Every structure is written in C-alpha cells, then in structure tokens.
C-alpha cells in the first residue's frame, strides 16, 4: 500500500511541473501578477507576507502592498519545486526538489535539490546541499525549529536535525532504534511541528512526540491506543490553540494496517486519545483560525467552525470578476487568518474573505501580445481531457488571450478541415485592458468526445481582430 501513496506524492511534484508554461520566467525580486507556478505546494505566514511554495519555485504575497514577488531565481536558492517551507519572523527556511531519470533503476524518481535559509525576510539566502548519503528519493517534506534546532522531515533521509543552523545535519529517528528507513516505517518522515516547544513528528509509522527536543519519544499509531489515529501515514500536522483549547491535528492516511483508513485525527490531551473527522477523505494540509479549522483535501477545501465537531465543504472557487475556475478537486495547501482563506491547488491559488461566497483566483501565465509573444496560445498542449485539469471527470485546456479595451470575444474550435467542432463562447463581454482564458473540454457540439488529432481555434476580439492557435488533442 505504501508505495502507491509515495507515487501519489511524486505525482504532486510531477503535476506541478506539468503546469509549467514554457519560457515564462519572472525576474528575482520583481513584482509579478501571481504565484510563479500553478501547482501550489505550501502556504506559510511570514512577516507581513504569505510565502507561497509552488512547482516552479518560491514566491510571496506582500500583505502591505498586496503585491506578489518572485524568488524563483534569487542567489543561493535551490532549484526546482518547493517541497517544504517554514517561516517565523524574518527567518525563512525552504527545501526544494526535482525529478530525474535514474538509469540504475530505469525510471524517473524525485530527488532533493537542497535547502536554503534567509534571516532577513528573504533579502539574502544561504544554501545547503541535500543532507544524506544520496538526494534520490530523499525529499524534505517539512521543516520546523525547536529551541534553535532545525528539524526536517525526509522520506529517504528520515528525521534530520541541525544544531548549527544548517552547516551540518544528522540523521536520527523518532524512537530508540538505529536509523534504518528500509526496516522501520517510523523512520520515513513526512511532517514536523513545533507546538509550544513540543516536537511532533509524523511518519509512515504514526505520530511521535518529544517534550525534550528529540532525546525521548512517545509513539501514537493506529494500533497502540484505545482511541487511535485513523492511519499510520501522517502527511501533515498542525496546532489549533485558543484561550481554552489546545488541539494537535494530524492528516492520517491508511498505511499497511487492514483496519486503517484515511481521515483527520485530533487530540486535546497530548496524544493520549484521538478523535477522527473527515473519515475516508485524504487530507493534505490543515490550517487553524481561532475556533475555525480548514482542511485541504483531495475532495476540495473543508471548513469546521467548531473545532472539528461539524464540517462542510466550501464552494468550488470561481473568480467573481473573470469567471475563471480552479480546474482541480485536489487541494494541497491552505492558510487562514481573521476569516481570510487561501487555498492552493494543482491549478492555482484561490482566496476568499466571505466564507467561499466569492473567490479571487491567482494563476501564473505568460502574457500574450507583448514582447513578441503570440496574441493567443493554448495550454497544456498537447491536451489530454482524461488527464489534464480534471474537474468532476472532465478535463480542460485553456486558451489565453488579452484585450486592449472593453470588448466582446468569440472563441471557436475547428478540425483540420476547418469544420466547426465547438463554440466555446460567443459575444462574451470582457472588460479591458486585461488577460483572460477560455476553456474547452475536448467535446464537440453534440457533447461527444472529439477524436485525437490537431484542432485549430480562433479568438475573435471585436475591434482588434481574429487570432488563431492550435491544440493537439490526445485522449
């Protein structure tokens, strides 16, 4: 069971890369219109900003200016997808990862590309190579700091710690056994949390707790308690603390036990007993905001207004201004503060301040019609309706364009003989100037699946002209 779960995690990184728009590069420190990538892997609050990890690198939203900034190519930043983020005050730690074909095993595997730290809120960075004997399948999934000790959660590398701020690292284990991830599932680590000085570590063998910064440990798994966690594979941890409640949350997935199941587990007595919510749902991340807790899951973004007693699913994000949708059901990250909620998916970043009644969506895209770029392009391309931008069983391809002023837009799809296949939109008002995208689901006017092949599309912007593009459809 476990290898399939690992493949899913690898898929997250691969999917993030799949969202790459070739050639779209933002300069370091330069303002940008959104995150640098559309696969949002992590969201962490920093000093006057929200740090955003993505499949394309690191960016942040400045809360004072509401401006996005790119850290994609800053000096001493490890390349690749951001696999872990930690921020507190001016200190920011990141870990990054990439994919590579490994000839020895004949397949593509993920590998850690290193870590970096900034102590001046992102102005300068210090980089460290990936700790461990090999970076292959040795990604760092989470980071935290307890009493000056930096802790990292790695699959192949296990639980790593640095007592000298990243100069040297030690492999350790959250138990009394000699570190051996091949022999002990509890040595394959995926999440770490500092909750008021108590170190919590989530592994493929349950939840581990240390009150003395890693010298002694207590393990809680799906079998060793009367009211246990739902599953031993712990992919995320979070603390929800108010004046009268202190809850540790754990996203607990089914590992190898026959009675294990997916769910969201919580404890209010230091791990002695657990209560499970969102049964049979794969939870990826957790965010607390007072009495409210949010869960980013493979079935959307869930909210509980009462410490997890009741739950409901927020509406699918649709941008209130542009009509843009998030074409994904799986959410990998979330952050909430004072009723403002951010949710990261494989298809962009969504924001709401009114409980999901209205949304604003932020996506990375290459502007059209400027600096020699074409007036329109489609992505992903080639496009597979059964694989790309999946929402409720349908896949979607975007056709990006720009209008210079208030106007009306018509977008149509044609086959290779220029016979009409589908009308995507007709005489649709678009305020300008602005960048927009229309989507096609790979079906014809009769709602049948279009055959594999090359299709042309036209974007007619009244007052500006008709612009053509091409889509290669592969079912």
- DSSP string of 17-56? HHT--TT--PPTT-EESS-S-SSEEEEEEETTEEEEEETT
Copy the structure tokens of residue 322: 């542009």
The secondary structure element, H or E, covering residue 7 is helix 2-18
Burial 172-193 (b: 16+ CB within 10 A, else e): bbbbeeebebeebbbbbbbbbb
* Residue with tokens 């230091």, as numbered in its chain: 270
Cα 380 from Cα 20, distance rounded (Å): 9
Sheet holding 140-146, edge to edge: 140-146, 149-154, 159-162, 170-172
From residue 299, alpha-carbon distances to 184, 275, 417 in Å are: 31, 21, 40
Q: What is the pLDDT of residue 31?
A: 62
Cα 260 from Cα 272, distance rounded (Å): 18
Q: Note down pLDDT in tens along the chain; length 475 residues.
A: 333 333 334 334 333 333 333 223 333 455 667 888 999 999 999 999 999 999 999 999 998 888 999 998 899 999 999 999 999 999 999 999 998 777 777 788 888 999 999 999 999 999 999 998 788 878 899 999 999 999 999 988 899 999 999 999 999 999 999 989 889 999 999 999 999 999 999 999 999 999 999 999 999 999 999 999 999 999 999 999 999 999 999 999 999 889 999 999 999 999 999 999 999 999 999 999 999 999 999 999 999 999 999 999 999 999 999 999 999 999 999 999 999 999 999 999 999 999 999 999 999 888 898 878 899 999 999 999 999 999 999 999 999 999 999 999 999 999 999 999 999 999 999 998 999 999 999 999 999 999 999 999 999 999 999 999 999 999 8
Strands 300-304 and 312-313: antiparallel
Q: Which residues contact 249 (CB under 8 A, 6 or more apart)?
A: 236, 237, 238, 239, 240, 264, 265, 266, 286, 288, 293, 308
Cα 11 from Cα 161, distance rounded (Å): 27
Residue 219 near residue 212 (C-beta atoms within 8 A): no
Q: What is the pLDDT of residue 10?
A: 39
DSSP characters for 201-230?
EEETTEEEEESSTTSS-EEE-SSSSSS--S
Cα 229 from Cα 254, distance rounded (Å): 10
Cα 458 from Cα 469, distance rounded (Å): 6
Residue 190 near residue 141 (C-beta atoms within 8 A): yes
Cα 348 from Cα 326, distance rounded (Å): 7
Phi and psi dihedrals of 93, rounded to 5? Answer: -110, 140
Q: 378: closest CA among 462, 464, 456, 475?
A: 456
pTM of the model: 0.89
Strands 453-461 and 189-195: unpaired
Q: What is the pLDDT of residue 63?
A: 86
Cα 107 from Cα 54, distance rounded (Å): 24
3-state secondary structure of 156: coil
Residue 115 near residue 130 (C-beta atoms within 8 A): yes
The Cβ-side half-sphere exposure at 260, using a 13 Å CA radius, reads: 24
Phi and psi dihedrals of 187, rounded to 5? Answer: -95, 0
3-state secondary structure of 357: coil
Phi and psi dihedrals of 373, rounded to 5? Answer: -75, 150
Cα 42 from Cα 127, distance rounded (Å): 20
Residue 34 near residue 349 (C-beta atoms within 8 A): yes
Q: What is the pLDDT of residue 3?
A: 37
Bond into 382 cis (ω within 30): yes
Strands 233-241 and 218-220: unpaired
3-state secondary structure of 15: helix
């Amino acid at each position: 069971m476990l290898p399939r779960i690992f493949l899913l995690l690898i898929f997250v990184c691969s999917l993030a890369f799949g969202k790459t728009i070739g050639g779209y590069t933002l300069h370091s420190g330069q303002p940008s219109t959104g995150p640098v990538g559309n696969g949002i892997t992590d969201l962490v609050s920093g000093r006057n900003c929200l740090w955003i990890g993505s499949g394309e690198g690191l960016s942040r939203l400045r809360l004072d200016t509401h401006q996005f900034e790119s850290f994609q190519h800053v000096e001493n930043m490890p390349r690749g997808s951001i696999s872990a983020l930690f921020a507190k005050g001016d200190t920011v730690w990141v870990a990054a990862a990439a994919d590579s074909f490994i000839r020895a095993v004949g397949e593509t595997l993920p590998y850690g590309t290193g870590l970096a730290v900034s102590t001046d809120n992102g102005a300068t960075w210090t980089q460290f190579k990936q700790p461990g004997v090999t970076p292959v399948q040795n990604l760092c999934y989470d980071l935290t700091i307890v009493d000056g000790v930096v802790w990292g959660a790695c699959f192949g590398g296990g639980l790593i710690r640095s007592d000298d701020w990243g100069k040297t690292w030690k492999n350790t284990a959250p138990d009394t056994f000699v570190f051996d991830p091949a022999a002990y599932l509890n040595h394959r680590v995926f999440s770490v949390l500092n909750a008021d000085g108590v170190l919590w570590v989530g592994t493929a063998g349950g939840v581990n707790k240390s009150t003395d910064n890693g010298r002694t440990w207590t393990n809680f798994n799906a079998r060793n308690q009367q009211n246990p966690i739902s599953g031993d594979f712990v992919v995320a941890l979070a603390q929800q603390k108010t004046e009268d409640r202190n809850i540790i949350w754990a996203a607990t997935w089914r590992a190898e036990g026959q009675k294990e199941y997916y769910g969201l587990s919580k404890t209010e007595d230091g791990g002695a007993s657990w209560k499970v919510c969102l049964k049979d749902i794969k939870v990826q991340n957790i965010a607390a905001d007072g009495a409210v807790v949010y869960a980013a899951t493979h079935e959307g973004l869930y909210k509980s207004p009462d410490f997890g007693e009741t739950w409901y699913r927020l509406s699918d994000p649709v941008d209130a201004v542009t009509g843009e949708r998030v074409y994904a059901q799986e959410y990998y990250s979330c952050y909430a503060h004072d009723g403002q909620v951010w949710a990261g998916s494989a298809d962009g970043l969504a924001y709401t301040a009114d409980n999901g009644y209205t949304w604003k969506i932020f996506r990375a895209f290459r502007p059209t019609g400027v600096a020699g770029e074409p007036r329109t392009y489609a992505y992903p391309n080639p496009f597979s309706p059964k694989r790309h931008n999946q929402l409720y069983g349908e896949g979607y391809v975007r056709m990006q364009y720009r209008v210079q002023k208030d106007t009306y837009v018509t977008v149509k799809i044609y086959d290779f003989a220029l016979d009409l296949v589908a009308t995507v939109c007709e005489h649709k008002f678009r305020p300008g100037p602005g960048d927009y995208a229309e989507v096609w689901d790979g079906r014809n006017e009769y709602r049948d699946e279009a055959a594999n092949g090359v299709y042309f599309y036209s974007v007619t912007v009244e007052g500006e002209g008709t612009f053509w593009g091409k889509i290669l459809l592969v079912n």
